[in-house]
Structure 1
Amino acid sequence: MPETTRELLTAGGWKELEFGPFRPDVTIHWIRPFEGDQPGVALLKYEAGASVPRHRHEGLETILVLEGTQSDEAGDYGRGSYVVNVAGTEHSVWSDTGCVVLIQWDRPVKILEEKTT
């Protein structure tokens, strides 16, 4: 696996990394999985129209949008946007066009509602 560096991520080198299942139409590449009290760091790749249901942040979450646009109830975040969600906040996330984000979670989120079909 190639070394994950700021240059690799911002220059689009993430396109060469392997992503695995995370949620429907959202895949993940773990840079540093959760371990003990250590935060998790990953890349999330949303297909166009993908979403993550309403969830609560149990710890701090920070996001850097590397490509495309990620959206939540507060707005749309394009490439280069830096988003901070503090512990206790809730929202849903989606991407109409598809996007890739670098994300760090202090703790895993708690999913509050799942869509049923």
Structure 2
Amino acid sequence: MAETIRSGFHAGGWKELAFEAFREGVTIHWIRRFEGEAPGVALLKYEAGASVPRHLHVGLETILVLEGSQSDETGRYPTGSFIVNAPGSEHSVWSEDGCVVLIQWDRPVQILN
């Protein structure tokens, strides 16, 4: 399986990439879609005020905030924050000012509401 390389994320290199609809107010650029047992890797771009409803993490989720800030019930995570959500954890996510995050999911999440 070929690996995918993207460079310059820390310097805004993601700004030239094509994003598609994901959820209301949130767009996605897939770096690697889920395939069999392989994890999914993507960039998510939240508009100011956008949110994702409460969901369950079936597998490990890791997030690096590249721009702006992302929040959940445990806090606000500004640019440069690295977040790890363990399998079995659940939360909702929002961004008051908008953000772009690099995210990897071991398994797709399950929306709870």
**What is the rounded CA distance, in whole Å, between the counterparts of 1:33 and 1:86 in structure 2?**
20
SS of alignment partner, residue 21 of structure 1: strand
Gaps of 5+ in 2: none
Q: Distance in 2 between matches of 1:68 and 1:4?
A: 23
Matched residue, 1:20: 20
Report how far residue 56 of structure 1 moved.
0.3
Looking at structure 1, the residues matched to 10 and 38 of structure 2 have their Cα atoms a distance apart, in angstroms, of 24
Equivalent pairs, count: 110
For 1:21-79, what per-residue CA distance to the aligned partner results, in whole angstroms no more than 9, with x for missing partners? 00000000000000000000000000000000000000000000000000000000000
- CA distance in structure 1 between the partners assigned to 2:33 and 2:11 by the alignment: 23
Q: Hey, what does 1:99 align to over in structure 2?
A: 99
Deviation at 1:4, TM superposition (A): 3.8
- TM-score norm. by structure 2 comes to 0.95
**Sequence identity of aligned pairs in percent?**
72
Counterpart of 1:14, as a letter, is W
> Where in structure 1 are there 5+ consecutive unaligned residues?
none
Q: Which runs of 4+ in 1 moved over 3 A?
A: none
Pairwise CA RMSD: 0.9
Alignment partner, residue 56 of structure 2: 56
